[in-house]
Structure 1
Amino acid sequence: MNPMNRLAAVVSLAAVLPFGSQAAESQGAVEVVHYWTSGGEAKSVDVLKKIIEKDGFVWRDGAVAGGGGAAAMTVLKTRAVSGNPPSAAQIKGPDIQEWGRLGLLTSIDEVAKANDWDNLLPRQVSDSMKYDGHYVAVPVNIHRINWLWLNPQVLKKAGVTELPTTLEQLYAAGDKLKAAGFIAIAHGGQAWQDTTIFENLLLSIMGADGFRKSFIDMDPATLTGAQMTAVFSALRRLQAYLDPDGSGQDWNLETAKVINGKAGMQIMGDWAKSEWTAAGKTAGSDYACVPFPGSQGAYSYTVDSLAMFKPSSNNDTPANTAARNDLARVALEPEFQYVFNQNKGSIPVIKGLDMSRFDSCAQASAKDFATAEQAGTLAPSMAFNMSTSQAVQGAVFDVVTQFMNDRNADPSQEGARLLAAIKATQ
């Protein structure tokens, strides 16, 4: 990194002290609320912590496990309301705008300009990191949602000879896996996991355009149309292949069932790969990855980001500002991007970064993102806070979960229920 870029991270004190002595003597601190708590995710956070500490600052970890981030958001809201926000928090998509409208986020434009973020980041990503034209958050990665993970050894034992590329092939593989005594699809019965499957089916059946109309435009005709009925019908059919003992299970426990040969497949974002990596497994031999059947050409994504909060009066010091700016700078340096994303299963958010260090699944993901960006088939995930507010997301969660729990629910009625639930949030 150019020394001038490092200097920009602590511009507030640059005229007084050189960077090294300032960091060592001030011991500025940065507190981060996040929900990176599984094995691979925790290793990724530790990378960031060590770099920040190496730069002479104090890292205060605010990890909150559970609920796909819901528990962490509860903690964050409590802290913010009480006037004691953290330095930064893991927040995504439209929720960054919501926090910005509340006047609780602070600009990091100095860091962004010094490090040329506008040219460093894909436009779709950089736009979502800004509020009112100012950078208030830093992205750390890109996660692909529409992935299917498979254990080739288990598939072979079940007589599945080809990786599924269509929904019909997915159902056929599920039948063979069940007949051979395996769990066909590892799945934890939690609202966000149910909705991950629903979202992938919607992308498969309705395409990127239908996805956009449903969860960005929230078009009533699309939400209540025949294709939405087909999505819920497919969800009901796929439900027969899900882990019968998965109720309430965390995603990483279900991933372990695929790793350990108890299950054949899992429908999950690429953070699942971090568990394979942590287990010492190799992409292409120990496990396989394919786009969720039928969704080839589209790319459903979420971006992990750290939004920067205005400090409380007792924490508003030049040293803490320097620590916060160092966090923002480090997050978009190649050193961190490589190690963090290799551990976490995601791909770097920096455009054009050399992917030769990454495994075949990550390389395919980066290539598919670039292709979808050019084709206009990127789909910001609803299930992971990239296309809707938390209120709309919660409404969709409720409808999907109720459908999954009521075996007598009519797929043809679910689109109307979905529309009504979304309208109720507005």
Structure 2
Amino acid sequence: MRELPRRTSEAVDRDTPAALLTSSRVTFFTSFHLLGAAFAMSLTCRRSQCYTDLLTFQERDNRRKTTLDASGAEFASHRPGVTAISTRSCCIDLLDYVIWTTTQADADPVRRRLITQRRVVMRVQNKLKVSMAVTAAVSLIAVTGCSANQPAGGGGGDGTNKLEITSWWTSGSEAEALNVLIDGVKSSSPGLSVDNAAVSGGGGANARQALAARLQAGSPPDAWQLHPAGQLKSYVDGGQVADLTELWTQNDWASKLPKDVAEAQQVDGKYYTVPIGVHRGNVLWTNPAVLSKANAAIDPAAGVDGLISTLKQVEASGTTPVCLGDKDIFASAQLLESIIMSRVGADNWKKLFTNEYSFDAPEVKQALEDYKTILALSNKDHSAITWDEAVKKMANGDCAVSLMGDWAYGELLNADKKPGTDFAWVTFPGKEDIFDYVGDGFSIAAKNTPNPEAANAWLKTLMDPKVQTEFAAKKGSIPAVTNADISTLSEYQQEAAKSFAEASVVSSLAHGQVTTAEFAQTYADAVSTFNGSGNVEAFLASMTQAQKTQL
């Protein structure tokens, strides 16, 4: 990768991080300056003034060298509930604004998507790394500098009467599900004040960036969301998460979980995280009316070939076949992994990450061709919208299908969509019943946890069967614990629970669960590049090289 060029007319490749950061409308100077402004405002971060400052920031700042498309007012309307400042840290909102304005500032969808993923931070040379370290420090100060000025009920409190949790659950249904957990821990710990420091960004990319800065600075939240197995291992290898084995043993949690779920919370035989639920990633959500209009039906047993034939039938009827929202790259990465699973089967999917099966196999090549076909049958603005916007478009009749994990079920219910009428579902078509397991859990820091007793109370709340059932009802997941009552959950969730017990269970690569974080990042980058180029051989070369060097 070349050194970051000076801000001159020097030509740079349009898809490199250097080009992204030296774009005429999205510059490193802009990002740094916005973060500096967020820091300055955080010094007097009173909730009553926070958004006044935010919404007038553009007017007051005459030193900015670029013009952004997004205004603070547009940001406020973009994020549902964003004006309910009392439920969030205003500094987190300011940082979200910085990220959001940066991602909205360029009309080219490929470049915007790459900026959104913030991979530029990981790709540039030392000069830029130093600068970005400064912005991370500013971000950290902005996040942590507000706590002293929080009003009663907004995260204040002393010792164990305070708890700060970090997650990426910010959509309507996700926020409601998270509130179930917050209410649960408050019920078990009277007087506890909970600071919900959720950071928006599908798939958790932005939340993990913010968390990384805090961990590096030795200022962690009390607990944070993560996926088990592969993603968890990256934190364990870095010495960043606490060993929870004693807590697991004291409460006999392993006996209350399926063996696969319990093992996913371990690294080298020790427990480091606590699960809250089980999601299925390979669900195809469908619009019954659109399929009926096209006189089409989706047969899971017909495989990917049958699916593509049906989608072309829908296209011939005059409706867009597929709704995709991959503004956050995990959505298209998840679609591709569902296709690969369907083509290679569960056993070979697992072998891809043990070097017993190659990404260069004919079935994987065919899956890439299938993906390219399905991408061409998708909405043209797919890289400009989010996963939740895509599934709602499907339910509104804008297209026939949308591939998304079953957190989409909770989001559709939250949007007052009716199962069986506005939407239906099938497992992504393939030659066997595969359950693409995406787990959610929480861990605590190996050291410097601000309120360890409150953090332990939080972890114990997560394993309450009643809490897991209530959480699942909002989230669309199924409980992780086997002693939870699922009789009150939906028809979809009953089916998912049955399938999880009987199907071939595999773990997701798009969500960093099946293998190392490094390999998952390589996959995400390869998918992002493939979306723009359609170059099958380049994708396969990238992944086969990663199999040799990263597994």
TM-score by length of 2: 0.67
Cα 1:167–1:74 shift into 2, 3 Å = same
Q: Bigger shift: 412-421 or 291-300?
A: 412-421
Segments of 5+ residues of structure 1 without an aligned counterpart are 1-23
Matched, 1:405 2:498: no
Q: Bigger shift: 289-298 or 253-262?
A: 289-298
Residue type of the partner of 1:201? I
Matched, 1:365 2:502: no
Cα 1:128–1:164 shift into 2, 3 Å = closer
In structure 2, C-alpha distance between the alignment counterparts of 1:389 and 1:65, rounded to whole Å: 23
Q: Which residue of 1 aligns with 2:405?
A: 269
List aligned pairs for 1:294-313, cutoff 5 A: 294=430, 296-312=432-448
Cα 1:102–1:26 shift into 2, 3 Å = closer
Q: Which residue of 2 aligns with 1:217?
A: 354
In structure 1, C-alpha distance between the alignment counterparts of 2:506 and 2:400, rounded to whole Å: 27
In structure 2, C-alpha distance between the alignment counterparts of 1:225 and 1:161, rounded to whole Å: 30
Cα 1:48–1:415 shift into 2, 3 Å = same
Cα 1:413–1:105 shift into 2, 3 Å = closer
In structure 2, C-alpha distance between the alignment counterparts of 1:310 and 1:58, rounded to whole Å: 22
Measured against aligned partners, the alpha-carbon deviations of 1:213-263 in whole angstroms (never above 9, x if no partner) come to 11x2134x5221211211111111212211112123110011110121112
Q: Which residue of 2 aligns with 1:189?
A: 326
List aligned pairs for 1:279-290, cutoff 5 A: 279-290=415-426
Q: Which residue of 2 aligns with 1:32?
A: 165
Paired residues of 1:399 and 1:421 also in contact (CA < 8 A): no
Q: Which residue of 2 aligns with 1:69?
A: 204
Task: Give the C-alpha shift of residue 412 in structure 1.
Answer: 5.2
Residue type of the partner of 1:187? L
In structure 2, C-alpha distance between the alignment counterparts of 1:286 and 1:163, rounded to whole Å: 19
In structure 1, C-alpha distance between the alignment counterparts of 2:258 and 2:245, rounded to whole Å: 17
CA RMSD of aligned residues (A): 2.1
The percentage of aligned residue pairs carrying the same residue is 28
Residue type of the partner of 1:401? S
Paired residues of 1:302 and 1:385 also in contact (CA < 8 A): no
> Aligned to 1:167, which of 304, 311, 323?
304
> Aligned to 2:314, which of 174, 177, 189?
177
In structure 1, C-alpha distance between the alignment counterparts of 2:249 and 2:317, rounded to whole Å: 57
Highest Rg: 1 or 2? 2
Paired residues of 2:281 and 2:435 also in contact (CA < 8 A): yes
Task: Give the C-alpha shift of residue 134 in structure 1.
Answer: 3.2
Paired residues of 1:229 and 1:413 also in contact (CA < 8 A): no
Q: Which residue of 1 aligns with 2:8?
A: none
Residue type of the partner of 1:328? L
Q: Which has the higher contact order (CA 8 A, sep 6+)?
A: 1
Cα 1:131–1:227 shift into 2, 3 Å = closer
In structure 2, C-alpha distance between the alignment counterparts of 1:122 and 1:58, rounded to whole Å: 33
Task: Give the C-alpha shift of residue 395 in structure 1.
Answer: 0.7
Q: How many pairs does the alignment contain?
A: 390
In structure 2, C-alpha distance between the alignment counterparts of 1:79 and 1:412, rounded to whole Å: 39
Q: Which residue of 2 aligns with 1:245?
A: 381
Q: Which residue of 1 aligns with 2:215?
A: 80
Cα 1:210–1:132 shift into 2, 3 Å = closer
Segments of 5+ residues of structure 2 without an aligned counterpart are 1-156
Paired residues of 1:143 and 1:302 also in contact (CA < 8 A): yes
TM-score by length of 1: 0.86
Residue type of the partner of 2:479? P
Paired residues of 2:169 and 2:198 also in contact (CA < 8 A): yes
Residue type of the partner of 1:205? R
Q: Bigger shift: 52-61 or 81-90?
A: 52-61
Q: Which residue of 2 aligns with 1:51?
A: 184
Q: Which residue of 2 aligns with 1:198?
A: 336
In structure 1, C-alpha distance between the alignment counterparts of 2:160 and 2:521, rounded to whole Å: 40
Matched, 1:103 2:239: yes
